[in-house]
Structure 1
Amino acid sequence: MSSPTPAYGRKKKSTNQTIEEDPDSIKIFNQLKTTNSSYQQILNRVSTLHQSPFTWARNLGNVDYCTAIEPSCDANYSSEASCISCSSQLINNNNMMTMMNTTSSSIGGNSSDFINSCIERLEKGIPLREIEIKQLCIKAQEVLMNESNIVRVSSPVTVVGDIHGQFWDVIEMFRVGGPLPNTNYLFLGDYVDRGKHSVLTMSLLLCYKLKWPQRITLLRGNHETRGISRTYGFYKECMEYYGSPNTWNYFTDLFDYLTVAALVDEKIFCVHGGLSPAITSLDQIRVLDRFGEPGMEGPLVDLLWSDPDPDREGFGTNNSRGAGYLFGGDIVKKFLHFNSAIHMCRAHQLCDAGYRLLFDDRLSTVWSAPNYCYRCGNKASVLEIDQELNMFFNIFEDAPSHARECTVDSKLHKSTMKLIKPKNGNGDFKVATSINGGDESSFDVSQYFL
């Protein structure tokens, strides 16, 4: 599947024409000088007039623009301007054509310098340019299309649940779980929507995937679809950042390539949502056609949408979501036994404590978005699985307020819950919790269907 190409509109009347000779360019340039437009927004506006924004940027000459996306920045754009309202990087347009052409060619060769540059900016909260996102998505598709529907993941690994665009909490999560590539990560999906910074979040994860493809696995969640992400915030955010739906199209095309399940050491089955009455064996998942929009029914949809229900047996209608199924502990036990697995790990549901254990600890839900939607007050966790398949839930809270403005060292807000696998390896787990060094205790976890 090819990504859409942005339309640059009508061509310039003459390749030698300067911006002073083009009334349309003068009109836009004068307008943007007195507005809060970011550099990317300026390029998007000019792209409707010219064959390419490269030429326009070159013709502008020695003019600096603030690269900030935040509309609160009211810098005065002029030839001597510096951004007085924010600390964002200034780019000289004399170098823009070279920079953007370098971007296009270097990412095609998976240039480590380019990836490192993107990561450095993203970790500071600076969004990438539209052309960079396009090339990242295209290159990531090439990597993802070679992955099986069930990715084999080796322990030790850290499993991450829903993060929903809470970018600074993702940065906090990496401080809790450990940095790449030292830590092997498995993400269970739902990277976008709800939170304020889905573009930053998805861009950073793609850069990590391109830099360390064997150290980070990205599963598809139910929000990594066109229908859901258009409704719950991601589409709107892309429009606000870049002034067009192009980046949303690039990302959603990429979503079609994300794999749907993982198997840790052939024993721990990981998926975003849950199980399906149409699936009893892992081989049935392996032959699914995952490349496309999942729709609202079918086994692929069930893997993304289904939920466990501790009060039922068998499968039932998932009325609260309108997609997928509810499934009981008997279904989990049969599925694990049939596939020689000992545990099922999933995400998809908010947990007050950051995690939830069900069905004699055969199933765990991990939730990694603290203070969900910036108002729920819940904790978050990552699930750390060691080489003996012992499992530890690392609990953390949302990032400190100062860390939401810049990436600085902060005290980790975390406690640890240890899930101990008995030596006989029969799949029956014992649970011990330690909160800030306290005694063993249990959590009162509320279940939310969101």
Structure 2
Amino acid sequence: MSGGIRTSVKGHLIRQRVTFALGTVHEHENENFTAPKDPPSLPETTTASTSYGYSKIPCSPMMNSAEKETSQGQGGMDPAVLDDIIRRLTEVRLARPGTQVKLSESEITQLCIVSREIFLQQPNLLELEAPIKICGNIHGQYSDLLRLFEYGGFPPSANYLFLGGYVDYGKQSLETICLLLAYKIKFPENIFLLRGSHESLIDDKIFCLHGGLSPDLTNFDQIRNLPRPTDIPDIGLLTDLLWSDPDRDVKGWGMNDRGVSYTVGPDKVTEFLEKHDLDLICRAQQVVEDGYEFFANRQLVTIFSAPNYCGEFDNAGAIMGVDENLLCSFQILKPAEKKPKFMMSTKI
């Protein structure tokens, strides 16, 4: 793969080619490599690594819980109440999958009100720094969210960026969104949740969003200036950021089977990255069999973090970790051993 990244060395900018660790893998194929120094994993996981450069850029500090409590507030929420909510939501990981958590209406309302204020204090375009772990759709599969945290580390021991798709389809959407909001309130600098008009740049090199590119997106100030809150229109920039999909058989922009937005060809991905001096687009939105799937010579990656999606498909889930050197590794949550009822679909 050709291309380059910028690395600062004693004040001088140099160009360095993007390299890949552990060999060459063709697009749309799974990488079955084992990377060194992975976090403690569940028994049913595999990993793979990909290098996107060597920019040494620090991140928000990852602390233990005691340290973090002294450095970050709980918004307008009683810390004891918040901690109790998190305790109840996480202790069910020791119980049978699907065990429900009882939260009162007032607790849920408070989570929504306080987290809303935190979201509005942070910009539309989150400009984050590695190290960070990037997660795709969860869709209410709460036991898989807990499994994901067990594998990658519970906040604040790791930084997380979720790309949307938190609820619907799964049976525990309420628990899923409540835990994510509770962690957002407790550790606002360690966990980030993309929403409708909320996208992210990691170290100015990885553009993260839920859906895909838009023909209307010419500069990032357009995202920064989007109003919040807002309704999603039928067409336009915001719709495309949420709903467009990559399509390797398309050149330029094509019709989308969803009936909304566009499909995006590899040429437009390359054009966008070169124009904005980026290395990678990271998005969610579509079910992919191995939990992640490359597109356009690894210039775009789709991440989906809900294994056995809806209990109907045999897909794996994935987390993409980005370390301080922008080395990307994929941690795989394998699906349960069961026969799928339907063939794999890539549209949700």
Normalising TM by the smaller chain, what interval?
0.7 to 0.9
Shift of 1:375: 1.8
The 5 A counterparts of 1:265-304 are: 265-304=203-242
| Residues in 2 aligned to 1:275 and 1:140: alpha-carbon distance in whole angstroms | 28
The count of aligned residue pairs is 263
Tell me if 1:155 matches 2:93: no
Return the offset for 1:397: 2.6
Counterpart pick for 1:112 among 61, 79, 98: 79
Segment drifting more, 346-355 vs 292-301: 292-301
Matches within 5 A, 1:296-335: 296-318=234-256, 320-335=257-272
Q: Assess if the C-alpha contact under 8 Å between 2:74 and 2:185 holds in 1.
A: no
Letter in structure 1 aligned against 2:112: C
Aligned letter for 1:267?
K
Match of 1:167 in 2: 142
Unaligned residue ranges in structure 2 (runs of 5+): 1-72, 93-99, 338-342
Aligned residue among 387, 397, 411 for 2:324: 387
Residues 334 and 107 of structure 1: CA distance in aligned 2, closer, same or farther (over 3 Å): closer
- Determine if the alignment matches structure 1 residue 366 to structure 2 residue 264: no
Going from structure 1 to structure 2, the CA distance change for 1:377 and 1:281 (only over 3 Å counts) comes to same
1:137 aligns with 2:119: no
* Structure 2 partner of 1:21: none
Q: CA deviation at 1:136?
A: 1.1
On the 8 A contact 1:311/1:328 being kept in 2, the answer is: yes
**Would the aligned equivalents of 1:274 and 1:346 in 2 still touch at CA under 8 Å?**
yes
Instruction: Give identity over the alignment, percent.
Output: 43
Maintained 8 Å contact 2:244/2:263:
yes
Which deviations, in whole Å up to 9, do the C-alpha atoms of 1:390-417 show, x marking residues without a partner? 11110013589xxxxxxxxxxxxxxxxx
In structure 2, distance between residues paired with 1:336 and 1:349: 21
Root mean square deviation of aligned Cα = 1.9
Q: 1:317 to 1:289 in 2, by over 3 A?
A: farther
Deviation at 1:446, TM superposition (A): 6.1
Q: 1:126 aligns with which of 83, 90, 101?
A: 101
Residue 308 of structure 2 contacts residue 336 of structure 2 at CA under 8 Å; is this kept in 1?
no
Letter of the structure 2 residue corresponding to residue 329 of structure 1: P
Matched letter for residue 293 of structure 2: R
Give how far 1:165 is off. 0.2
Structure 1 distance, partners of 2:87, 2:318, is 25
TM-score normalised by length of structure 1: 0.56
Corresponding residue for residue 346 of structure 2: 448
| Counterpart residue type for residue 386 of structure 1 | D
| Mapping 1:1-400, distance limit 5 Å | 109-123=76-90, 124=92, 125-220=100-195, 259-318=197-256, 320-398=257-335
| CA-to-aligned-CA distance 1:211-250 (integer Å, 9 cap, x gap) | 00000010026xxxxxxxxxxxxxxxxxxxxxxxxxxxxx
Provide the rounded CA distance (Å) in 2 between the counterparts of 1:398 and 1:166: 13
Runs of at least 5 residues in structure 1 that lack an aligned partner in the other structure: 1-105, 222-258, 401-444
CA distance in 2, matches of 1:311, 1:342: 22
1:110 shift after superposition? 2.5
Shift in Å at residue 314 of structure 1? Answer: 0.6
**Structure with bigger RCO (C-alpha 8 Å, 6+ apart):** 2
Letter in 1 for 2:247: D
CA drift at 1:127: 2.9
The 1-side partners of 2:126 and 2:248 are apart by: 28
Q: Is the 8 A contact 1:272 1:348 kept in 2?
A: yes
Deviation of 1:295 (Å)? 3.0
1:380 maps to a residue whose letter is G
Deviation of the 1:447 alpha carbon: 5.7
Deviating beyond 4 angstroms after TM superposition, the runs of 4 or more aligned structure 1 residues are none
Residue 54 of structure 1: aligned partner: none
Aligned residue in 2 for 1:22: none
